[in-house]
Amino acid sequence: MSKPIRILLQTTIPFNEDDWHIGRFSLLRNHLLSLKDETGAALCEVTTRNRETNEGGSDPLLSTLDASNFDELWLFAIDNGDGLTKVDCQGITRFRQRGGGILATRDHQDLGISLCTLGGIGRAHFFHSRHPEPDAERHVPDDPFTTSISWPNYHSGANGDYQKITAPRPHALLRDEAKPNRLIEFFPAHPHEGAVGVPDGEKHVSVIATGQSKVTGRPFNLIVAFENTDDEHGNTLGRGIAESSFHHLVDYNWNTDMGCPSFLEEPPGDGYKRNPRALEDIKTYVGNAARWLADR
């Protein structure tokens, strides 16, 4: 019997009840824990935590992640620039160099901008004030409703609704194993998603899913996948996923009855309440991601 996949779900912010702390990813955690392997045993072991700091200001786990027994890091970057130190990034880099899989996601404008300090998968994220999208024509607001948020802020729909996604080519992350020849079609929507893309100079990296703004009709990247590859030091790097928004995975976007921080301005949608079967696609994706990042 194979060992369970050990997954760390972590935010880049300390606990704050009125923010997107790790407790607001409980439906994701519970779904990962519900997955079974081919023998019927639990597929995953899941640890959840918010950012903590030691005397040097670094996170004691992220900065030594390569020495842990985790197979995967699912990193929810929710900070405004202080979410990762240089030492944290070094620990995460060494983790990937030893084959660890990483899912890194953020949100609009500069939310999660500490990912800029993380090489590789971090470079797939584009922000407002640092490392913007290469296409300067995209440096304009897409969501016109929440005027306090600037680009990148792709409007894929209301929280609680779902969006239709497009796959440029079939990928294992998007396959529906229960229905041969079908790719998943729906992802949770969000009024202002961030921007991701293939970093310059990276090989074996591709955009595998795109969305479309409900306001401007502009297409935008949802998921960038990093395949296994060898670095210049001879390390076989673990697989990686860069996503445009952590709202694809947070409780509120799967079930708006779970609540949200008080600063959220937009009224929720009811797409998933009207069509709960559409929620199965994001759950299928989560299972695919857990297996794919671990190369199972």
Per-residue pLDDT at 1: 57
Give the residue-averaged pLDDT of 157-180: 94
Residue 83 has pLDDT above 70, yes or no: yes
Q: Is the peptide bond before 188 cis (omega within 30 degrees of 0)?
A: no
Instruction: Tell me the pLDDT band of 139, cut-offs 50, 70 and 90.
Output: very high
For the chain, the three-class secondary structure string (H helix, E strand, C coil) is CCCCEEEEEEECCCCCCCCCCHHHHHHHHHHHHHCECCCCCECEEEEEECCCCCCCCCCCCHHHHHHCCCCEEEEECCCCCCCCCHHHHHHHHHHHHCCCEEEEECCCCCCCHHHHHCCHHHHHEECCCCCCCCCHHHCCCCCCCCCCCCCCCECCCCCCCEEECECCCCCHHHECCCCCCCECCEEECCCCECEECCCCCCCCEEEEEEEECCCCCCEEEEEEEECCEECCCCCEECCEEEECCHHHCCHHHHCHHHCCCCCCCCCCCCHHHHCHHHHHHHHHHHHHHHHHHCCC
Residue 2 has pLDDT above 90, yes or no: no
Per-residue pLDDT at 101: 98
In the chain, % of residues over pLDDT 90? 92
Give the residue-averaged pLDDT of 175-186: 90
> Which residues, 6 or more positions from 106, have their beta carbon under 8 angstroms from its beta carbon?
76, 77, 78, 112, 113, 115, 125, 194, 244, 245, 246
Residue 181 has pLDDT above 90, yes or no: no
Residue 24 has pLDDT above 60, yes or no: yes
Per-residue pLDDT at 227: 96
Per-residue pLDDT at 175: 95
Give me the long-range contacts of 271-277 (CB less than 8 A, separation at least 24). 271/157, 271/158, 271/160, 271/161, 271/162, 271/189, 272/160, 272/161, 272/162, 272/188, 273/160, 275/162
Instruction: Please tell me the distance from the alpha carbon of residue 49 to that of residue 141, in angstroms, as a whole number.
Output: 33
The residue type of 193 is E
**Residue 5, CA distances (Å) to 36, 62, 67, 199, 254 in order:** 11, 18, 16, 28, 24
**Residue 291, CA distances (Å) to 28, 68, 193, 226 in order:** 15, 19, 25, 14
The residue type of 169 is R
Are 71 and 6 spatial neighbours (Cβ–Cβ below 8 Å)? Answer: yes
| Average model confidence (pLDDT) across the chain | 96
Q: What is the pLDDT of residues 209-260, one digit of tens each?
A: 999 999 999 999 999 999 998 888 888 999 999 999 999 999 999 999 999 9
Enumerate domains of the chain plus CATH numbers.
Answer: 5-293 (3.40.50.880)
Per-residue pLDDT at 239: 98
Per-residue pLDDT at 70: 98
pTM recorded for the entire structure: 0.97
